[in-house]
Structure 1
Amino acid sequence: MMTYKGYSANIEVDSEAEILFGRVLDINDVVTFKAQTIEEASEEFQKSIDDYLEFCQVLGQEPDRLSN
C-alpha cells in the first residue's frame, strides 16, 4: 500500500501484461495508474493524486472522498 497527501493506493501485479497496476482507494472517483517498477508506481501514484486534485480545483469541486 502507498500513501500520499492523505490518499492511499493498492498495487497489484498483472503478470500477463508485466506491469504494476494501482488504484486510489480513498475516493469515490476512479483514479488508476500503471508502472513497470515499484519506484515508477510511486511516482505515477503521486502524479495521479496531483492531477486529480488539480482537476477538482479546475471544476471548483472538493475531491469526492469516501465517507467513513
Structure 2
Amino acid sequence: MAKKNEELDPDTVALIAWCTEVEGFLVAGGATLHQAQEHIEEEIDWFTDLFFDGLTPEQAAKEALSG
C-alpha cells in the first residue's frame, strides 16, 4: 500500500525557499553550487536557527562565509 503524499507545513516551505536564496548568495560569494548545497545540508540546524532568528538570506550567507 502506497503512502499518501504528506503536505509540508508552511514553516518548512518557507525555510526551503529561504535556504534556496541563501544558496544563491553563497554562490555569489565564491562557493560552487555543490559546495553551497553541501554546506547548507551539513549545517541545516544552524541555518534553521538563523531563519527563525529572522536573518535575511543575504545575512545568513554572510555569516556562513565569514565563519
Q: Which structure dedicates a bigger proportion of its chain to strand? A: 1
TM-score range, shorter chain: 0.3 to 0.5
With CA pairs under 8 Å and 6+ residues apart, which has the higher RCO, 1 or 2?
A: 2
User: What TM-score results when the alignment is normalised by the length of structure 2?
Assistant: 0.35
Larger radius of gyration: 2
* Richer in helix (by share): 2
